[in-house]
Amino acid sequence: MTRANAGKRAPARGFTLIEVLAALVIVALGMMGVIEAVTQSARNGTYLREKTLAHWIAMNVVTERRLQASAPDVGTTSDDIEFAGVRWHWKMVVTQTQVESMRRMDVTVRGADSPEDTSLARVSGFYGTAIGTAGGSTMLWAGAGGTGPGGVDGGQTTGGQTPGTGTGTPTPKPRPRADTEE
């Protein structure tokens, strides 16, 4: 180097320490957001898996009761079950409906370790013993209020019923035969 150039310095190339630290802070904040999004996605996937399994269990309980020869007893029953490697607790509440031959079943399912007042799935189903004839003829539901057979029709009583009470014997309405024209 000559003495003439000794007093002049070449401009510095690269980043200063402050610029590098600012860039690292920005990258770290961005990565924290990405990690949080991935974690939330994994939590959602786990929750949806558990909710789906709980729904399957509830549907299985309702289906098993429907396949039994007799109607389930009115009241509450519960049990624990292992399904997909997890312990589950289900509870079924059976209530009598206004239709004498039909009962409502409400099933709730939660993880066995979850608190009593929580549930992941709730399914309602019905058990009925009335069976219609082939060809889709009208069923007469004893004790069912409302419009149509077995209930109130247009403000008129049928078969000695009191309007809105659904009591008495319904009077069936004549139906046109399939082989006649209306």
All structural domains of the chain, each given as residue ranges with its CATH number in brackets, are 21-128 (3.30.1300.30)
Q: What is the pLDDT of residue 42?
A: 93
Q: What is the pLDDT of residue 179?
A: 47
- CA nearest to 168, candidates 155, 156, 150, 153: 150
Its sign, for the CA torsion 148, 154, 156, 162, is: positive
Q: Which two tokens stand for residue 176?
A: 């046109």
H helix or E strand, kind and range, residue 28: helix 17-66
Q: Number of C-alpha atoms within 13 angstroms, CB side, residue 19? A: 4
CA gap 150, 168 in Å, rounded: 8
Its sign, for the CA torsion 108, 110, 112, 115, is: negative
* Tokens 């004790």 found at: 143
- CA nearest to 97, candidates 57, 137, 64, 146: 146
CB 88 within 8 Å of CB 109: yes
CB 110 within 8 Å of CB 122: no
Q: Can you give the pLDDT of all 182 residues of the chain as single tens digits?
A: 555 555 677 777 888 999 999 999 999 999 999 999 999 999 999 999 999 999 999 999 999 999 998 999 999 999 999 999 999 999 999 999 999 889 999 999 999 999 999 999 999 999 988 766 666 666 666 655 555 444 444 444 444 444 444 444 444 444 444 444 44
